[in-house]
Amino acid sequence: MTTIATTNPATGEVEKTFDALTDEEVDRRIARAAQTFASYRTTALAERAGWMNAAADVLDREADRIAAIMTAEMGKTLKAAGAEARKCAKACRYYAEHAAEFLADRRPADPRDVDARDAYVRYEPLGPVLAVMPWNFPLWQVIRFAAPGLMAGNVGLLKHASNVPQTALFLEEVFRRAGFPEGAFQALLIGSSQVERVLRDPRVKAATLTGSEPAGRSVASIAGSEVKTTVLELGGSDPFVVMPSADIEAAAWTAAESRCLNNGQSCISAKRFIVDIGCADEFERRFVANMRAKRVGDPLDEATDIGPLVSERARAETEELVADAVAKGARVLCGGERPDGPGWFYPPTVVSGVTPEMRMYHEEVFAPVASLFRVRGVSEAVEVANATGFGLGSNAWTRDDAERERFVRELDAGQVFVNGMTTSYPELPFGGTKRSGYGRELSAEGMHAFCNAKTVWVG
């Protein structure tokens, strides 16, 4: 039997364990989801909105409680965890307010143009949706699927990462306490080997996954063979381009904030810093100083900027990537050595001179480790920025209008943030291109991702 556990990354100690659900119990929960969907899909939007606003109230009231759980399970700082909880409450309220607008019948053409008395598109829910979610933003990643999904009339089955079981159970509790019908949102404490069985169940109509590229390939392959809708948000190796016209001080400060966000474990954090030689010396000096100033330590301490990496394996993989780069000629400008003591801590690190022969050039580094590149002009900056199989987010820093337009047009990514740090908002669609996945979360697009856009023609 698979054991699912909370292992504190700051200490390396197992704090709580759970047995994985049996196949029989999983079947019962899928049956409950399908039964609930049959009636839940007909509930009034106003009723769903009331429940969703109540869920937001629970998240706000209990932000401190869930923040402590998240910090214990995956190591993010307590202040970051509290901010995540409040962001989730905001997203719930956003969808409660805007669902009627997003789900309203849409008339894309004059009925006379299609020989009809009336013609429109109606958005209808698909059914039970399986969400395979990661540990790095264990609350936010789920809410950005669950809030639009539940408001659209779908029901959710959550297979969360096995190291955040208490967060998964908290989420189930939130929606139950908010008043959603029993079975509208259920957490499945199961191992990865049980995912295929759930996804192939004919009562499960779609799936969404945020996670690694191999996990995405597996879910997409299984869902494809079953002809089921999927949305995938996979890894990222986001570029952060800085041109001489930029506010270099602001760019260097934001660069360090982005690279160290969530202990360096964020898909949309900038990871490759591509700087024009006209400002490279100043940017490097400021950036390295900002990275060195970050305080690594106890994630429960308000003064801490960076907590531990999620696991011993994660730290070992980071060390291997840095060592490979150094062995092939790169230079470590700061950090690069694990601190003494318990826990899986790793310092803010800047590596310069990264070349295509190095693993770090092609692979995502999921830690507070930055690659620094020097380029000549916009064309070379775009070339280096796009020289990756990923295409999730991107940053461009310039005050030149022509340069801005080129970056917006030419950067291969699902998002381009100009003169600001890449982040996610309920109001804007979120997703990637290339090996970073497909489909969109958030905004109206995130709600429509798991709807049947039904064409209605009336003669």
Active site residues: 233, 267
> Among 356, 435, 438, which Cα is nearest to 389's?
435
3-state secondary structure of 49: helix
CB 352 within 8 A of CB 341: no
d(CA 329, CA 352): 9
d(CA 355, CA 387): 11
* Alpha helices in 267-311, H assignment, sequence order: 280-293
CB 34 within 8 A of CB 48: no
Q: Which long-range contacts (CB under 8 A, 24 or more apart) does 82-85 make?
A: 84/137, 84/139, 84/140, 85/59, 85/60, 85/139
Identity at 381, one-letter amino acid code: A
Q: And the tokens for 128?
A: 């039970």
Question: What are the φ and ψ backbone dihedral angles of 238, each rounded to 5 degrees?
Answer: -70, 135
Sign, CA torsion 422/391/436/122: positive
**Maximum distance among all alpha carbons in the chain?**
75
d(CA 397, CA 421): 10
3-state secondary structure of 410: helix
d(CA 209, CA 159): 10
How far does Cα 133 stand from its chain's mean position? 9
CB 309 within 8 A of CB 260: no
* Phi-psi region at 183: left, alpha or beta (left = phi > 0; alpha = psi -120 to 50): left
Q: What is the DSSP letter of 16?
A: E
